[in-house]
Structure 1
């Protein structure tokens, strides 16, 4: 059963990837051509309009099936502003000539010009190992879960669910409760944390396979049976060192790129409209 849509994957990527990767994905995630800053009063104004904010929120909700947290919405709007700065700088450099004014290509060209002069700091093996440890979750193989859910009406009381779980374990019917079976395969721990919450995830880790139990999730109690649990596997530094170094370079480039874009952005007046109440 699929719970993570393509849009959800893209949004998660946008929230965590280096800036250059985000720009490459920009058109697919945001439809950048329709996100023009039509509300700007002058060439030095960048206005994050209410429409931009509402569309960012709507896209997030469509992909992630929940409202964005303030910090998540800020990440998306900050990157919209970064794109707008790059677009305007690209126009000033004439990077739109011969390109039919295609916005995402102008942004990409401006980013390429910006990054051409970046000099990365040196990193030795000890420094790379320290970065690896602080980002280990990217490289470790996460624990994965196979489990079943006996889906019941959402207004079913907790004591009725507990009796239902006992009946299922005894291969008996519980009168008055209708349910359908949902099958979840190979779900990573991070997916459970996002979809069901910390308490649910920690509880399912303690279950014995084959037993129905009532577990409390973010959306209320659920009747769950763990089928199998594949334990997490820690990544080996030597095995991932080549990829690790490239990821480190990408992240350092991203950080320096953001600094340069924000420096360029100082000549613009950036304002954010209030959303209608």
Structure 2
């Protein structure tokens, strides 16, 4: 039980967070802006060289390494001076970057974890409409910039959309082509609708929100996993990353009390 618990990505995330917090409490600020000594260890130099090698596929020459070190020192000098001047305080860019790094910490394993065929087959079975081939749909769509605007228009009974660079209607369009034009999110939500003469929705896409009049649909066949494995794996990873990011946030969020004036 404990061994399985220790393999959970969220546990790794929380342990890392506690370790960072403890280290900061013990050592203080890891970068002292008042310190005028910059020490680049052998491990640090190896990390710089490794980053170069991963990008270009070869180790840096001595001249290139000198240039990389000079660039690192330049960044360190400017970073410390920025801290000394307090430029990191209340900076929305720094704030956003740090929150992004926390999310990346929570989801890093989902980007690299090996995934079994059994897991992907379960995912394919549970999301058949995302990968079905040969099916078609006939529909009309109205676009809105927000969900609230779409709901308001639907409530009026005779909705009118706004112009956008998407076809207002399609007839017997292959489902894969619908995914390519309207996006994966639109196609997934469309799969949950039944053909009927009334407008339905709103459903989201990468462009905004849509009301849809789905007039006809023909089912497609789901291909074997081996023929769409890369697509299924990418879909699984994207969904898993989003889920772990939200779970990690909720674990941290529950530790806070928010007071809003």
User: Does TM, normalized by the shorter one, top 0.5?
Assistant: no
Q: If the length of structure 2 is used for normalisation, what is the TM-score?
A: 0.31
Q: Which structure features the higher share of helix residues?
A: 2
